[in-house]
Structure 1
Amino acid sequence: KENGKVVDLCAGNGAVGLFLTNKTKASIVAVEIQPKLAEMAERSVKLNSLEKQLTVLNLDLNDSLTHLKKDSFDTVTCNPPYFSDLPTSKKNPNPYLALARHEITVTLAQTIEMSSALLKTKGKAYFVHRPDRLWEIFECMQKNRLAPKKIQLVYPKAGREANMVLVEAIKDGRKGGLRFMSPITVYQANDEYTPEMREILYGTAE
């Protein structure tokens, strides 16, 4: 909504929240557990003079309801850790990257549960995740009153398998009506962004 409330979970260095300030006048809260990343996000907010619109909370996602009101947000965005934390999982030796990529501090189920808890009825949730976990995403959504409505696959290059999926869901939405949007391809053969991707990132295909 143009004048609503947005919360960005697993915010990292705040990139999603910063991009959203160009698309809405809504109040935005970014939640990030890692102090170093939250501090980076805070610096970006100050450098761009966005203190009145964008707030950063250095907070465990699971503790969100201690600082944020239940059922109070119009929109949730989330780019969570993609990989399960299994004994056999090969993790990045960099602890910051390991936390960002693996479900060490928060699981997919917890992420979706908190997203639903924060959303108003008919509020929308937007997730970025891995295609191979789409079935699990749907299962978790069903348990938490979220109805998936739009799916968009993201391909690194033409002829490659999709490596990301974008999902839009509505809290307490009607079942059915799932739509598959046109896919996004990120890079051309020469490793430069496709015109579509440049349009998304920079507002121009040139």
Structure 2
Amino acid sequence: MTDDIVLRDNERIDDLNRAGFRIIQDPKVFCFGMDAVLLASYASSECRAMKKGSLKICDLGTGTGVIPILMAARESGDGACYDNVSDYDCVEIQPVSVDMAGRSIRLNHLEEHIKVHEGDINDVKLFLKAHSYDCVTSNPPYMSAHAGLKNPSDVKMIARHEILVDLDGICKAASTLLKCGGCFYMVHRPSRLVDIFSSLRKYSMEPKAVRMIHAREKEEANMVLVKARKDAKPQLTVLPPLFIYEDDNEYTKEVRDIYYGE
């Protein structure tokens, strides 16, 4: 037990390297990766730039809640002032992840700012108010429902494969929740960009920016950050690429800043 938070079997508490903010994870269930950290950093910097008072933000498929917790940590000045933290609603369908997210939120004393809703993203309008959010974030399943699928009920498989929700469903839910002019931030695979743009426009969200993420300078991109705006005019900006590693396999300065000092 830590800070009156009970840990289940196989769970651990990991440091998020942001002024003592932590998260509960179970390696047998799912642990967040670099994609979540990069998305949280990107969305947070964008939200800070547009902020006029507290924003209303929703994270779709929140898992253990790492994206809203990281964003809240940055908004708080790494714990200096919680008054600046936005209001977050998080949607997650897997009960085990909902439970971990809720305890991580309490562990970080963010109960007044982050709420977790156990529910289906495809039915989000049944339990969250439509057209009321300034920003929506999502780190959705990247892989198609049948790609390498072994156990469709496995928690990790559901997190990685489009079993319970697909890209189209994510974009539809984001559009349902966003105000006119609100922004959607997502991390995905570059190979799905055509599908991403198609689904965004299908639900009245205009792609506004993309940033390719490469492991190293001479390697192909393996992730992409995407920003879209609800009911916006067409104009896409291709941002400078982000490289993860230097030639000596150490993190680049930008990645070090994202993890430890932004």
TM-score by length of 2: 0.73
Alignment deviations for residues 142-187 of structure 1 (CA, whole Å, 9 cap, x no partner)? 1100001010011122322111100000000001x21011111122
* Alignment partners' CA distance in 2, 1:158 and 1:183: 9
Alignment deviations for residues 85-105 of structure 1 (CA, whole Å, 9 cap, x no partner)? 13xx21365811110111000
Q: Structure 1 residues 89-98 or 30-39, which shifts more?
A: 89-98
Unaligned 5+ runs, structure 1: none
Q: Which residue of 1 aligns with 2:223?
A: 164
**Secondary structure of residue in 2 paired with 1:134:** helix
Which of 43, 46, 51 pairs up with 2:103?
A: 43
RMSD: 1.5
* Alignment partners' CA distance in 2, 1:126 and 1:3: 18
* Alignment partners' CA distance in 2, 1:185 and 1:61: 32
* Alignment partners' CA distance in 1, 2:128 and 2:240: 35
Q: Structure 1 residues 139-148 or 190-199, which shifts more?
A: 190-199
1:66 Cα deviation after fit: 1.4
* Alignment partners' CA distance in 2, 1:92 and 1:75: 34
1:32 Cα deviation after fit: 1.0
1:106 Cα deviation after fit: 0.2
Q: Which residue of 1 aligns with 2:120?
A: 60
CA separation of 1:145 and 1:52: change in aligned 2, threshold 3 A: same
One-letter code of the match for 1:35? P
1:58 Cα deviation after fit: 1.7
One-letter code of the match for 1:21? A
One-letter code of the match for 1:52? E
**Secondary structure of residue in 2 paired with 1:23:** helix
Does residue 183 (structure 1) correspond to residue 241 (structure 2)? The answer is yes
Tell me the number of residue pairs that the alignment of Structure 1 and Structure 2 aligns: 201
**Secondary structure of residue in 2 paired with 1:158:** coil
1:37 Cα deviation after fit: 1.3
One-letter code of the match for 1:41? A
Does residue 143 (structure 1) correspond to residue 206 (structure 2)? The answer is no
* Alignment partners' CA distance in 1, 2:196 and 2:135: 18
CA separation of 1:13 and 1:190: change in aligned 2, threshold 3 A: farther
Q: Which residue of 1 aligns with 2:189?
A: 130
Alignment deviations for residues 110-146 of structure 1 (CA, whole Å, 9 cap, x no partner)? 1000100000000000011000000011011111000
Does residue 192 (structure 1) correspond to residue 250 (structure 2)? The answer is yes
User: How does 1:18-97 map onto structure 2 within 5 Å?
Assistant: 18-24=69-75, 25-86=85-146, 89-91=147-149, 95-97=154-156
One-letter code of the match for 1:23? R
* Alignment partners' CA distance in 2, 1:46 and 1:84: 34
Where has structure 1 moved over 6 Å in runs of 4 or more? none
One-letter code of the match for 1:198? R
* Alignment partners' CA distance in 2, 1:15 and 1:135: 27
CA separation of 1:96 and 1:203: change in aligned 2, threshold 3 A: same
Q: Which residue of 2 aligns with 1:109?
A: 168
Q: Which residue of 2 aligns with 1:11?
A: 62
